């Protein structure tokens, strides 16, 4: 018998949480559906190379048929998975201009997600991920609309991610501890391999695309240079950059340090999406004892005004993010 059967499965964990919250099971069902979408996406990603579905821009397969981009396929999977069960009234995605609304209009929650983060990594057999965030609707008596999605990060009721690496992992929080599960593909179950994840207090890496150096403000350049040269109050850091946010964040959560995607002089808002990337990971970071900032405000304190709003992101161990903010202030 495999040793890991001693770990709780995801449904055991939901059962425990539900009992302690006196909840009705809707949130657990949402999380369960997210993991179903994740298993389907993992399967797709795993087979992409064999089935000639590599390439960031889709393209044509060996039969000469047009192939959908993997991130579009992943988005479709989420739509299908949440069409079947009446637990979210709407779905917003990095892949869709506007929210997709379901027929079950009385559902209490909405879901926001980045279906396939780091999808460019598919060509190099690198890690990718899915990021998600759950909000309670403002008023179930009113029709679901954009306002239900344009929220403050601190209002999230659940958030997390799936990491498609050598193993598929599911990491989430419902506002309590952050738990990490590893998928046993052969039986299709997630096992609680990483209970109560917390950022380490020291060590780890700073993680940033240094090729953007010339595009940064002097303040950002100086701050990154301090990390590069080990002149920080939080201590010397190594450097790592996968180029897939979920993978870079997950490493930061396990090994410590800070992930950065700064704004640029010509693009002060940076690249990452507030609602689909920054805020959900900020919610996870906070509940793992970490911090997330846009350089001036905490990410969780920002209220979105646009669905596809971008934000600079500095996220990781609390002492590292505090050091970033201190250095940016000068
Ligand atoms: O979703 C945006 C994204 O692909 C992230 O996963 C990743 O961290 C980032 O872009 C990489 O950006 P760049 O190639 O500019 O470093
Ligand atoms: Mn992304």
Structural domain includes residue 89: yes
- Residues 233 and 175 both lie in one domain: no
Look up tokens 């990971």; give the residue. Answer: 281
Q: Are residues 168 and 310 in the same domain?
A: no
- Closest ligand to 248 CA? 1
Residue 248 CA, ligand 1 centroid: distance in Å: 10
Q: What is the pLDDT of residues 238-251, one digit of tens each?
A: 999 999 999 999 99
Domain boundary, last residue among 197, 226, 248: 197
Residue 2 lies in a domain: no
If you take atom 15 of ligand 1, which residue's CA is the nearest one? 209
Residue identifier of the C-alpha nearest atom 14 of ligand 1: 243
**Any atom of ligand 1 within 6 Å of the Cβ of 244:** yes
Ligand found nearest the CA of 247: 1
- CB of 115 sitting under 6 A from ligand 1: no
Domain count, the chain: 2
Cross-strand partners of 317: 290
Residue 317 lies in a domain: yes
Residue 227 lies in a domain: yes
For the segment 61-70, what is each residue's pLDDT rounded down to a tens digit?
555 556 678 8
pTM score: 0.95
- Residue 266 pLDDT: 98
What is the model's pLDDT at position 67?
62
Q: Are 183 and 260 part of one and the same domain? A: no
Residue 181 lies in a domain: yes
30 and 132, same structural domain?
A: yes
Instruction: Answer with the one of 136, 170, 197 that is the final residue of a domain.
Output: 197
Last residue of one domain, picked from the residues 197, 230, 250: 197
Q: Could you tell me if 189 and 239 lie in one domain? A: no
Which ligand has an atom closest to residue 275 CA? 2
Per-residue pLDDT reduced to its tens digit, 77-123: 999 999 989 999 999 999 999 999 999 889 999 999 999 999 888 88
Of 70, 120, 161, 272, the one to substitute when testing ligand 1's pocket (max ligand atoms within 8 A of C-beta) is 272
Q: Is 209 in the pocket of ligand 1 (CB under 6 A)?
A: yes
Residues spanned by the domain of 187: 7-197
Sequence-ordered alpha helix ranges (H) in the chain: 10-21, 26-47, 70-83, 218-228, 245-255, 279-287, 318-329
Within a domain: residue 1? no
Pocket test for ligand 1, best of 71, 239, 245, 280 (most atoms within 8 A of CB): 245
**191 and 211 part of one domain:** no
Across the strands, what pairs with 292?
Answer: 315
CATH number at residue 190: 3.30.540.10
Q: Is the pLDDT of residue 131 over 90?
A: yes
């Amino acid at each position: 018998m495999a040793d890991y059967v001693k770990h709780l499965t995801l449904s055991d964990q939901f059962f425990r949480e539900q009992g302690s919250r006196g909840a009705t099971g809707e949130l657990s069902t949402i999380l369960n559906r997210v993991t179903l979408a994740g298993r389907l996406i993992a399967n797709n990603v795993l087979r992409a190379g064999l089935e000639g579905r590599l390439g960031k821009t889709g393209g044509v397969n060996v039969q000469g048929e047009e192939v959908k981009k993997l991130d579009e396929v992943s988005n479709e999977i989420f739509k299908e998975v949440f069409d079947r069960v009446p637990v979210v009234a709407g779905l917003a995605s990095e892949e869709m201009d506007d929210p997709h609304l379901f027929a079950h209009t009385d559902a209490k929650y909405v879901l926001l997600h980045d279906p396939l983060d780091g999808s460019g990594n598919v060509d190099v057999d690198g890690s990718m991920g899915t990021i998600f965030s759950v909000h309670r609707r403002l008023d179930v008596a009113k029709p679901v609309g954009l306002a239900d999605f344009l929220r403050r990060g601190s209002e999230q009721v659940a958030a997390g991610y799936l990491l498609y690496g050598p193993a598929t992992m599911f990491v989430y929080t419902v506002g309590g501890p952050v738990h990490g599960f590893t998928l046993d593909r052969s039986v299709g179950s997630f096992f609680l391999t990483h209970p109560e994840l917390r950022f380490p207090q020291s060590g780890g890496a700073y993680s940033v695309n240094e090729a953007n150096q010339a595009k940064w403000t002097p303040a950002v350049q100086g701050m990154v240079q301090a990390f590069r040269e080990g002149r920080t109050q939080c201590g010397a850091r190594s450097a790592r950059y996968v180029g897939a946010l979920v993978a870079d964040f997950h490493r930061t959560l396990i090994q410590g340090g800070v992930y950065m995607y700064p704004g640029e002089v010509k693009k002060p808002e940076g690249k990452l999406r507030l609602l689909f990337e920054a805020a959900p990971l900020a919610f996870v970071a906070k509940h793992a004892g970490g911090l997330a900032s846009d350089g001036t405000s905490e990410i969780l304190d920002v209220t979105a005004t646009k669905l596809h709003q971008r934000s600079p992101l500095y996220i990781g161990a609390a002492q590292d993010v505090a050091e970033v903010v201190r250095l940016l202030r000068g």
